[in-house]
Amino acid sequence: MSGYIYMHRSEKGKIVAGYVPWDDAKIHVLSHVIHYSSGVFEGIRGYVTDRGVAIFRGRDHYRRLVRSAKIYRMFPEDYAPKEIFRNGKVYMEDLVSYFMDLTKELIRKNDLYRRAKEVKEEDKMANPFVYIRPVVYRGYDVTEDPILKPPLGVNPLNNPVEWFIATFLWDDYLGTMAIEQGADVITSAWAKNAPSTTPFMAKGASNYATGQLAKMESVLSAMFKTPDIAKRVKEGGSVKADDLYLPVESVQLTVSGHVAEGTGENIFVVMYEDGDPGKATIYTPPLSASILPGITRDSVIRIAKDLGYPVIETMIPREMLYIADEVFFTGTAAEVTPIRSVDGIPVGEGKPGPVTLRIREQYTGIARGQIEDPYGWVEYV
């Protein structure tokens, strides 16, 4: 495997940092993060444009990474390189710029711009994009005598804070069909953790434990394709193999039964006034619904408001998904993905709606450098 990952680790009390060949990028099996999920991460997207790779809101993602780490008491002074310290302190914007510079160099070093064009021309990927995955985590430093009481308790404070950045190519997260025709989803039996159990303002690894269960639940569940099939079964007909499909995602609820988010996406609900899409109001769960404060979510809220749509952050009952005129996911990998059915019930007309498509067109136009970026969100490599 060709390619590199940038790693910053502790080895026998010393910092070892640099570009590591892909196959040599390893951490110790006793690293605290493996046993106790003591890590935070980000997912950042780079679009392949005529001007090069366009990193979308990379600095905002890295700010959230630093803040996520802080919530878990992993402070910049614990893991930042010595060269960016000023008067014994590490300043947020210095660290963010350092991460961004490393990321750009890693994209160049992995030749991802050329590779993305190549795999698309060879029809190996439908819509390749550059995915950036930085992780800050509690590691493990081998001592002189590792058999004697290694730091492997729940208390993470004796473990070094380490980090890495990986960059690679990814394709449409929920599938090209979901992007074009809308995603089929189910509501999961696995609820989000309650407030005060895990901090959802941090993009922590532990927050995705129930998400994994919900994701597997969706891809392994078979649902009816259309109401016509359900009607046939109700009238005594049989279910055929081609009547079934696999949902691509789950919507998780809060412990009180309200809509929270997808396993890796935020969610929005669109309701028309008097059946008129021109008089639409957009609803989305608040941060108190145990959701991640998504960067794409924030982008869509700002775009929607600038397009003239009221956006209301409020608790959403599950059944509102069934009667909504439009529902869509947002996320770094999912971008703006329409939802065409929930639990086998068509959303609106069972296809991407005009409000979703208008917001998606604006969002992707900015991210891909196709229209003016009034927000200063895009940074080119």
- Burial classification of residue 238, based on how many CB atoms lie within 10 Å of its CB (0-12 exposed, 13-18 middle, 19 or more buried): exposed
CA 179/CA 64 separation, integer angstroms: 27
Angstrom CA distances, 257 to 13, 112, 229, 287, stand at 48, 43, 29, 15
Residue 332 or residue 226, greater confidence = 332
Which residue ranges make up each domain of the chain?
4-170, 176-371
Put simply, whether the predicted model's pTM sits higher than 0.85 gets the answer yes
| Cβ–Cβ under 8 Å, residues 204 and 37 | yes
**Catalytic residue of the set 89, 104, 109, 203:** 203
Least confident of 36-50, 243-257, 335-349: 243-257
Of 337, 318, 175, the closest CA to residue 260 belongs to 318
Instruction: Please name which of 377, 358, 196 lies closest in space to residue 268, comparing C-alpha atoms.
Output: 358
**Per-residue pLDDT, 257:** 97
pLDDT at position 366 over 90 = yes
Q: Which of 328, 346, 381, 284 is nearest to 56 (CA)?
A: 381
Judge if 4-170 and 176-371 fold alike in CATH terms.
Answer: no
pLDDT per residue as tens digits for the range 41-96:
999 999 999 999 999 999 999 999 999 999 999 999 999 999 999 999 999 999 99
14 is known as an active-site residue: no
How far is Cα 262 from Cα 252, in angstroms, rounded to an integer?
Answer: 6
Confidence check: pLDDT of 230 > 80: no
Q: Which fold has domain 4-170?
A: D-amino Acid Aminotransferase; Chain A, domain 1 (3.30.470)
What's the CATH code, domain 176-371?
3.20.10.10
Return the amino acid letter for 238: S
First to last CA, the chain: 23
Nearest to 137 by CA among 62, 200, 78: 78
The pLDDT of residue 296:
98
Q: Are 47 and 56 in contact (CB under 8 A)?
A: yes
Strand 311-313 and strand 276-284: pairing? parallel
Tokens of 260: 């929270």
Sign of CA pseudo-dihedral 21, 23, 29, 35: positive
Alpha-carbon distance 169 to 129, whole Å? 6
**In which residue are the tokens 């129930």 written?**
210
Q: What is the mean pLDDT of the chain?
A: 93
Mean pLDDT of 116-130: 93
Going by DSSP bridges, is the β-strand pair 223-224/161-170 parallel, antiparallel, or unpaired? unpaired
